[in-house]
């Protein structure tokens, strides 16, 4: 599986751990930056990762900023992206199981390295449950397409 990873300056150190973890588990990593702790704008990196996910160039994306929130908000502007902020194991698991999240956003100033690795592991290994959740994903896709009734 190919995974695109991106961060801003706040997430730079944690990104190194994420990239190393993914590579040791056999994932192919596409590192979209940033490549230093110099101040930068998180939407630039969210867009790079989210675009790769939406185009199918990678199967999943991981984004890291101070809280994960800004990255998720920016990534979710790209049609086809379902980015979830997960700084705990429960949210990581259910964002995949019920929401089929294809982008994980984490907060480097919220989560420590050990928990970040555990969150990443749960998120990467959890499969989408499907079933009743597919109907809900289709409603979100309708909203994305501008269908006024949300597919009801």
Whether 65 is catalytic: yes
Q: Which of 7, 9, 40, 98 is catalytic?
A: 98
Of 7, 9, 40, 65, which is the active-site residue? Answer: 65
Known catalytic membership, residue 98: yes
3-state secondary structure of 105: strand
| SS3 assignment, position 4 | strand
Contact 9/64 with Cβ under 8 angstroms?
A: no
Q: Work out the burial of residue 135: count CB atoms within 10 Å of its CB; fewer than 13 is exposed, 13-18 middle, 19 or more buried.
A: exposed
Give catalytic residues, as residue numbers: 65, 98
């Amino acid at each position: 599986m190919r995974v695109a990873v991106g961060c801003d300056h706040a997430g730079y150190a944690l990104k190194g751990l994420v990239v190393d973890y993914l590579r040791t588990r056999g994932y192919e990593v596409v590192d979209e930056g940033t490549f230093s702790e110099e101040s930068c704008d998180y939407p630039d990196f969210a867009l790079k990762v989210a675009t790769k996910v939406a185009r199918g160039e990678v199967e999943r994306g991981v984004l890291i900023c101070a809280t994960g929130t800004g990255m998720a908000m920016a990534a979710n502007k790209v049609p086809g992206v379902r980015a979830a902020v997960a700084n705990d194991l429960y949210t990581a698991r259910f964002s995949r199981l019920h929401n089929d999240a294809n982008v994980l956003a984490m907060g480097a100033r919220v989560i420590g390295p050990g928990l970040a690795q555990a969150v990443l592991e749960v998120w990467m290994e959890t499969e989408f449950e499907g079933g009743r959740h597919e109907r809900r994903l289709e409603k979100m896709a309708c909203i994305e397409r501008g269908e006024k009734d949300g597919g009801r």
